[in-house]
């Protein structure tokens, strides 16, 4: 069978092929290879949650959980595979990857760029929900199987240690023995991963490097030879996306940037309001009852201006001198 690829440009020189059945390379003279950023949940779902890329998900899980020999995963069933039209209809939300292996173990894999309120509680709630939803009736509890929740964060979640991969389980407090292993949690904190490409030591290192840095690269590193990881790079190539997929990917990235900007603005506004309140108290103590208009002046000033006025309070002979008048 002969497959003909027609290339077209969406924007900024980004090229796409209309055919998606095979991995394709841009024609000679095309722009450097561009990869989508796996840290964006839409991209993560596309790479790790596609039906045609189960080898990617299996390799990642086996490297993280250190599954070897007869403990390796023979097969996985992706419970909610990546479907661009379906995702496009959803509001911006958490897009995790859920799968079940041949032993009945359920895995929940989630990429999170920004920390939200009660984040750890949500993670534990989702794992517990996946556990109980395996059965319809309480008397069927013997049929329950293990649930492993894997959370990758682009922020530091645990301040008490420096290693980027951590495993969390329940242990008996006297003996330290793990008797309750039905729900396990693994976390990968990307900011704690500081290895360079030259110092990657195993498959898990390569996977974490891919997740953290693929969006900034222009070629598949020769040092990364694991077939599933190279397949992941191919899945992440912008040239292998449809225009619809790329459009939604961009929207997901913009939504994340907007959310981060809103958080930063709220922090800055909180600091500004606090500075204005402190300055108002200092002015009252220094000059007594404040005239009309001062409150409006403080409310409209930005943080640097408020800080400048605060520095003048103790030495200024009058209120006008504080404001530079």
68-125 pLDDT tens trace: 988 899 888 988 777 755 555 544 445 688 999 999 999 999 999 888 778 899 999 9
Query: Residue 152: exposed, middle, or buried by beta-carbon count in 10 A (0-12, 13-18, 19+)?
Result: buried
Q: Distance between CA 130 and CA 148 in Å, rounded?
A: 10
Query: What confidence score (pLDDT) does residue 248 get?
Result: 81
Question: Which parts of the chain have pLDDT scores under 70?
Answer: 1-31, 84-95, 259, 262-263, 325
The confidence score (pLDDT) of residue 31 equals 59
Give the pairing of strands 15-17 and 7-9. antiparallel
54-65 and 227-235 are packed helices; what angle lies between their axes, rounded to 10 degrees? 130
Nearest to 272 by CA among 309, 320, 319: 309
By the 10 Å C-beta count (0-12 exposed, 13-18 middle, 19+ buried), 80 is classed as middle
Output the six-digit token pair for 12. 């900024």
Tens-place pLDDT, residues 195-218? 999 999 999 999 999 999 999 999
Question: Long-range contact list for 51-54, CB < 8 A, 24+ apart?
Answer: 51/78, 51/81, 51/82, 53/231, 53/232, 53/235, 54/78
Question: What SS3 string covers the chain?
Answer: CCCCCCEEECCCCCEEECCCCCCCCCCCCCCCCCECCCCCHHHHHHHHCCHHHHHHHHHHHHHHHCCCHHHCCCCEEECCCCCHHHHHHCCCCCCCEEEEECCCCEEEEEEECCCCCCHHHHHHHHHHHHHHCCCCCHHHHHHCCCEEEEEEECCCCCCCCCCCEEEEEECCCCCCCCCEEEEEEEEEEHHHCCCCHHHCCCHHHHHHHHHHHHHHCCCCCCCCCCHHHHHHHHHCEHHHCCHHHHHHHHHHHHHHHHHHHHHHHHHHHHHHHHHHHHHHHHHHHHHCCCCCCHHHHHHHCCHHHHHHHHHHCCCCCCHHHHCCC
pLDDT at 279: 86
Let me know the angle formed at the C-alpha of 97 by 81 and 22, rounded to the nearest 5 degrees.
45
What the block records as the tokens of 40 is 């964006």
Please report, to the nearest 10 degrees, the dihedral formed by the alpha carbons of residues 227, 233, 239, 241 taken in order.
100
Q: Is 288 left (phi over 0), alpha (psi -120 to 50) or beta?
A: left
pLDDT of res. 10: 38
Rounded CA-CA distance 244/8 in Å is 13
Sequence ranges of the domains in the chain:
32-241, 270-322
């Amino acid at each position: 069978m002969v497959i003909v690829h027609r290339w077209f440009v969406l924007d900024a020189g980004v090229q796409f092929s209309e055919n998606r059945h095979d991995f394709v390379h841009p024609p000679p003279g095309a722009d450097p290879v561009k990869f989508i950023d796996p840290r964006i949940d839409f991209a993560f779902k596309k790479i790790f949650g596609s039906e045609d890329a189960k080898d990617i998900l299996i390799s990642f899980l086996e490297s993280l959980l250190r599954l070897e020999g007869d403990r390796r995963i023979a097969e996985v069933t992706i419970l909610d595979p990546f479907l661009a039209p379906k995702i496009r209809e959803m509001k911006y939300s958490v897009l995790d990857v859920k799968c079940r292996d041949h032993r009945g173990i359920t895995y929940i894999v989630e990429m999170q760029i920004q920390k939200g309120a009660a984040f750890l509680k949500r993670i534990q709630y989702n794992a517990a929900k996946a556990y109980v939803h395996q059965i319809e009736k309480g008397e069927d509890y013997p049929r329950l199987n293990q649930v492993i929740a894997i959370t990758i964060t682009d922020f530091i979640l645990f301040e008490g240690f420096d290693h980027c991969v951590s495993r969390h389980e329940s242990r008996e407090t006297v003996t330290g023995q793990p008797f309750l292993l039905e729900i396990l949690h693994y976390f990968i904190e990307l900011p704690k991963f500081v290895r360079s490409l030259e110092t990657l030591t195993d498959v898990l290192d390569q996977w974490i490097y891919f997740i953290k840095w693929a969006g900034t690269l222009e070629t598949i590193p020769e040092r990364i030879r694991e077939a599933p990881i190279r397949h992941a790079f191919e899945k992440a190539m912008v040239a292998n996306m449809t225009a619809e997929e790329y459009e939604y990917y961009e929207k997901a990235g913009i939504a994340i940037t907007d959310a981060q900007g809103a958080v930063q603005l709220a922090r800055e506004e909180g600091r500004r309001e606090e500075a204005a309140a402190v300055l108002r108290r200092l002015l009252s103590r220094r000059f007594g009852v404040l005239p009309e208009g001062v409150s409006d002046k403080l409310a409209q000033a930005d943080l640097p201006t408020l800080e400048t006025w605060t520095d003048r309070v103790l030495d200024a002979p009058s209120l006008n001198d504080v404001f530079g008048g």
